[in-house]
Amino acid sequence: MVQSHAGQIARYAVFGYPIGHSLSPVMHNAAFRERGIAARYEAWEVRPGELAAALEAFRARDGRGCNITRPLKTEAFRLAGRRQPWAERTGAVNTLYWEGTELAGANTDAEALSALCPPAGPGEAALVVGAGGVGRATVAVLEGLGYLVTVAARHPEGVVWHPRVVPWEAKGEGRWRVVVNASPLGQEGEPPWDSLPALEPGYSVAVDWVYRPRLTPFLAAARQRGCGVVDGLTLLVEQAALAWRYWFGQEGPRAVMLTAAAQVEPA
C-alpha cells in the first residue's frame, strides 16, 4: 500500500503539452482502484523548458512518480540523474521516479516495444516509417532486437543520425519482418496515408504507435494480408503497466488499464 505524507494522498501524473488527450489518468486511476492503492493520477500541462519547475511543485504535493509525453521526453532525460538502460539507448525518458532524493528515469515506451515485437532471425530487416523522436527511439529498440533497420523519411537528407534511410515514396518496397509506423499518419485529425508500407502476407508484423483509432488503416491492411499486428493501444497499456515496476515494484494490471482506456470515446 502506498503511504501518504502528513495525510496527503500520493500523487502520480503525466506531464506534457498539450495534455488533454491523454488516456493515462483513466488507465492508472482505474488500476489504483482495482489494486486498492491510495493514490490519484493527474494530467499536468507543462510547456517545454518548464519541466524542472513543474517537478519541484509536483514533489512538494507528495508526487511520487510521473509519465512524460510529447514534447518533454528529451528534457526529462536531461533532468534525470540516474537512467535505466533503454533511456540511455534512446536518449529519452517517459517515466520518472525518485530514489531517495535523486530523480531517476526510464523509457517504458521502448521497453513495451521490445516486449511486444518478435526478435530478429538471421538477416531479418525492419522498416520504421517516420524520423521524428518516436522514430528514433523505435530504431534503437529494433536494432536492440537484432534487426537491420531502415528509416523511411519525407526529408531523408535530414536524417543524419542513421545510415540507412530511404525516401518516403520507397516505403512500399522491400521485404520487412517488422514494419513500424512512427508517424502520426492514420491518427484521427491527421492526413491519410498516401501509400502504405510494404507488407509480406504471413511474414511481416505491423506495429502502429497511433492508438486513435485502435485499428488504423495501416493495421487493417496488414490484418487483411494475414500479417501479425501490434496496435497503439496495446503499446500504450504495456508502457503504463511497466511504469509501475519503478513506482511500486510490480507491474500494473493490463486488463484493467485496457478496459478503462477502450471505454473512452475520442473527443
**Is the CATH code 3.40.50.720 the one for domain 112-230?**
yes
Grid cell 510521473 in the structure block, residue: 66
Quick one: which of 37, 106, 22, 4 has its CA closest to 248?
A: 37
pLDDT tens digits for range 202-225 = 999 999 999 999 999 999 999 999
* Mean pLDDT in residue range 139-163: 97
Domain with CATH 3.40.50.720 in the chain: 112-230
Residue 251 corresponds to which cell in the numbers above? 507491474
Answer yes or no: are the C-beta atoms of 165 and 114 closer than 8 Å. no
CA pair distance 189, 248, nearest whole angstrom: 36
Angle at which helix 108-116 crosses helix 232-248, to 10 degrees, equals 120
Answer yes or no: are the C-beta atoms of 179 and 198 closer than 8 Å. yes
* Cβ count near 17 (within 10 Å): 15
Residue 258 corresponds to which cell in the numbers above? 485496457
pTM of the model: 0.94
Q: Read off the pLDDT band of 168 (50, 70, 90).
A: very high
Known catalytic residues are 73
**Is the CATH code 3.40.50.10860 the one for domain 10-106+234-263?**
yes
Answer yes or no: are the C-beta atoms of 73 and 52 closer than 8 Å. no
Domain with CATH 3.40.50.10860 in the chain: 10-106+234-263
- The yes-or-no verdict on residue 3 having pLDDT over 50 is no
Q: Specify the 3-state DSSP secondary structure of 7.
A: coil
CA pair distance 6, 9, nearest whole angstrom: 9
